[in-house]
Amino acid sequence: MTVSVAEDRPISRVEPSPNDLDRALAELGDNARAFARLPPRDKARLLREEVLPRVEAAALRMVQASCLEKGIDPAAPIAGEEWLAGPCTIASNVSALADALDQIATRGAPRLPFRAVREDDGRTKVRVFPMRGADGALLSGFTCDVHLERGVRRADVRAEQATFYRQADPEGGVSLVLGAGNVASIGPMDTLHTLFNEGRVVVLKTSPVNAYLGPILEDMLAPLVSRGFVRIVHGGAEVGGYLASHRLVSHVHITGAQHTHDLIVWGKPGEEQDARRAANDPVLKKPITSELGNVSPVVVVPYLYAEDELWFQVRSIATQIVNNASFNCNAAKMLVLARGWAQRDLFLDKLQQALGEVRPRKAYYPGAPLRHASLVKGHERVRLVGEASPGTLPWTMITDLDAADAREPLFSTEPFCGIVSEVSVGSQDPAEFLAAATRFCNDTLWGTLSASIVCPSILEEDPVVGAALERAIDELRYGAVAVNHWPGLVYGTVTAPWGGHPSVTLADVKSGIGFVHNTVMLGRIEKAVLRGPLKTFPRPPFFYDHRNMAVTAERLLRYYARPGWGRIPAVAMAALRG
């Protein structure tokens, strides 16, 4: 037994026995139908009155525990990363789900903003941000639209919403959620989605990397645990495999690596996997959804950017690299620049400068040093930024990759450490470049999760370039596309869906199948598209150099936990001090 860093309750390092797991699943199975048929109003009350206060109460412990394990001073501004990616987002998710369930109870489906649904060029799009009253104040000038699959008409949108709640007498079921080890909010939010969007009770298996959060999650979700709607277990691959194959588990959701997904679905790597794929004979004979990472591109449209515009975007991209020590599935990993762009060298030098302002972080995720060494090896144009101490890795820029080299490992391997690479395609003509960059991202880079495009408004307003930008957004095979900002904001809205593009198959799953979050409960989703200004004031509170990040994030948590316009000024004042 060891002691939790978050409190004085012990965490067992002994993996649960099959009997323990059988008992947990039996308890969930006994309550599956009752939960599925619980009226939406009662579910909303459970979330708002019981779960949400516990998320707020346990928030500080979650942040302190995560900071300790990741080598962050919990009193430093950078601790705001853990507030934002942990309890703040969880609280927002709980609050949004409670609102949606109340709306289902009164009107049959979650409310959409006024004039949210429109049709453009045969594609139905639904605005999901700003959604709640204060969204526009918190992220002024930002929007997020969900593009639905082709063939979905405007009139179909409401009929496709909240389909679980259209069932007369649902039976429910038991889902296994295999939690991620890098971000505190992923496991609980995947659990909330499975419970309240899909109607199944959940056994959440934490990752061994952040099992230290177990007691805190037990406290946050105690109202769901006490009613037999959730069980939280810990352990490694054997525990996960036992649960995935258990007869009482009817569905699996995993956030993690494609290797782990394929092991669960197709069996041992090598001949067995190959044969099963060829015969379409998976080991796992039940539905599985997943989110499995990405080589995330940042496409920079060529333009003569002003100095302040360039510096804002460089800091935005640096934030996407350094956040969480770059152990994010949506971390910026591939800079896609225009061949011959006049500001290329200046852009790369400025990015190096920005990275140099951030002390190298603890490489807490297993295997990071080996991945870093193997991916740097054999490359000539390597910039190591920052003095790395034992246990840390330098921020690393690898430039001048050959877009035509199909064997380049950085195109096919997610580094999951502080490496960002650069490649040039197309020409200095913005429209031609956007077409070339779209082909490169779709056909060469591994993954279908998220991508971003940097494009100034003056080019968006140009008829030729604007049309080329819209084509790129439409054709990019990613579940989230962000213009001028980090696609991680799509994750943070919670009203928008988060997941890989639906063009994949189980045999070639790339970034995964299915979407989570999606508190407006849309159906037949293709992607979420977030747009924001080329630069904003004040600087976004998640930027690495925001001097008041932690205070801003904690106040934002208090707002989500106890919504009210009176709390917005405190959030705004904290953000302005950054």
Q: Which helix (H) or strand (E) holds 463?
A: helix 463-475
Q: For residue 123, give the nearest of 483, 474, 499 by alpha carbon.
A: 474
Question: What sections of 368-412 are H helices per DSSP?
Answer: 368-376, 409-412
CATH number at residue 425: 3.40.309.10
- Which position has the token pair 């997941």? 499
**Stronger pLDDT, 154 or 122, i.e. the higher one:** 154
CA–CA dist 539, 315 (Å, integer): 10
Q: Give the lowest-confidence range in 87-101, 107-121, 345-359.
A: 107-121
In a domain, 269, yes or no: yes
Query: How much of the chain, in percent, has pLDDT values that exceed 70?
Result: 98
Coil, strand or helix at 500: coil
φ/ψ region of 228 (left if φ > 0, alpha if ψ in -120 to 50, else beta) reads: left
**For residue 236, what pLDDT band results from cuts at 50, 70 and 90?**
very high
Q: Which domain holds residue 108?
A: 38-113+162-168+549-578
Mean pLDDT of 540-551: 97
Regarding whether 442 and 407 lie in a shared domain, the answer is yes
Q: How many CA atoms lie within 13 A of 573 on its CB side?
A: 6
Q: For residue 473, give the nearest of 299, 295, 319 by alpha carbon.
A: 299
Given 291, 314, 339, the domain boundary residue is 291
- Three-point CA angle 120, 135, 140, nearest 5°: 75
**For residue 266, what pLDDT band results from cuts at 50, 70 and 90?**
very high
The answer to whether 515 and 191 are in contact (CB under 8 A) is no
Q: Which helix (H) or strand (E) holds 337?
A: strand 332-338
Mean pLDDT of 434-449: 98
Mean pLDDT of 413-424: 98
Regarding whether 364 and 454 lie in a shared domain, the answer is yes
Regarding whether 322 and 470 lie in a shared domain, the answer is yes
CA dihedral 568, 572, 574, 576 (to 10 degrees): 180
Q: What is the model's pLDDT at position 5?
A: 31
**For residue 13, what pLDDT band results from cuts at 50, 70 and 90?**
low
Residue-wise pLDDT tens digits, 381-400: 999 999 999 999 999 999 99
Q: What is the model's pLDDT at position 399?
A: 98
Regarding whether 272 and 224 lie in a shared domain, the answer is yes
Regarding whether 416 and 304 lie in a shared domain, the answer is yes
CA–CA dist 183, 93 (Å, integer): 15
pLDDT of 198 strictly over 70? yes
Task: Look up the pTM and report it.
Answer: 0.96
In a domain, 127, yes or no: no
Q: For residue 522, give the nearest of 124, 171, 136, 114 by alpha carbon.
A: 124
pLDDT of 521 strictly over 60? yes
pLDDT of 18 strictly over 80? yes
Regarding whether 407 and 510 lie in a shared domain, the answer is yes
Q: What is the model's pLDDT at position 12?
A: 52
CA–CA dist 32, 109 (Å, integer): 22
Which phi and psi angles does 568 have, rounded to 5°? -65, -45
Q: Give the lowest-confidence range in 54-58, 122-126, 132-136, 328-332.
A: 132-136
Regarding whether 283 and 301 lie in a shared domain, the answer is no
Q: What is the model's pLDDT at position 132?
A: 82
CA–CA dist 216, 59 (Å, integer): 9
In a domain, 123, yes or no: no
Q: For residue 62, give the nearest of 554, 451, 491, 431 by alpha carbon.
A: 554
Regarding whether 419 and 382 lie in a shared domain, the answer is yes
Q: Which helix (H) or strand (E) holds 384?
A: strand 382-385
Regarding whether 188 and 67 lie in a shared domain, the answer is no
Average pLDDT, the chain: 96
**For residue 458, what pLDDT band results from cuts at 50, 70 and 90?**
very high
> Interhelix angle for 271-279 vs 258-266, to 10°?
70
Mean pLDDT of 479-500: 98
Coil, strand or helix at 229: coil
pLDDT of 9 strictly over 80? no
Q: For residue 332, give the nearest of 487, 512, 119, 133 by alpha carbon.
A: 487
Burial classification of residue 352, based on how many CB atoms lie within 10 Å of its CB (0-12 exposed, 13-18 middle, 19 or more buried): middle
- Domain tally for the chain? 3
pLDDT of 1 strictly over 70? no
Q: Which two tokens stand for residue 308?
A: 């302040």
The answer to whether 527 and 501 are in contact (CB under 8 A) is yes
Residue-wise pLDDT tens digits, 63-79: 999 999 999 999 999 99
Concatenate the DSSP letters of all residues of 150-204 into one string.
TT--GGGHHHHTTGGGG-SS----EEEEE--SS-TTHHHHHHHHHHHTT--EEEE
Given 271, 291, 311, the domain boundary residue is 291
In a domain, 68, yes or no: yes
Q: How many CA atoms lie within 13 A of 165 on its CB side?
A: 28
In a domain, 572, yes or no: yes
In a domain, 543, yes or no: no
Radius of gyration of the chain (CA): 23
Q: What is the model's pLDDT at position 3?
A: 28
Residue type, 438: T
The answer to whether 249 and 200 are in contact (CB under 8 A) is no
Q: What is the model's pLDDT at position 137?
A: 80
Residue-wise pLDDT tens digits, 124-180: 999 999 998 788 888 899 999 999 999 999 999 999 999 999 999 999 999 999 999
In a domain, 150, yes or no: no
Q: What is the model's pLDDT at position 14?
A: 74
The answer to whether 514 and 289 are in contact (CB under 8 A) is yes
CATH number at residue 283: 3.40.605.10
pLDDT of 2 strictly over 50? no
pLDDT of 265 strictly over 50? yes
Regarding whether 301 and 286 lie in a shared domain, the answer is no
Regarding whether 311 and 197 lie in a shared domain, the answer is no
Q: What is the model's pLDDT at position 578?
A: 85
Given 266, 291, 316, the domain boundary residue is 291
Q: Which two tokens stand for residue 377?
A: 């090896």
Q: Which two tokens stand for residue 178?
A: 């295999």
Regarding whether 216 and 181 lie in a shared domain, the answer is yes
pLDDT of 7 strictly over 70? no
In a domain, 503, yes or no: yes
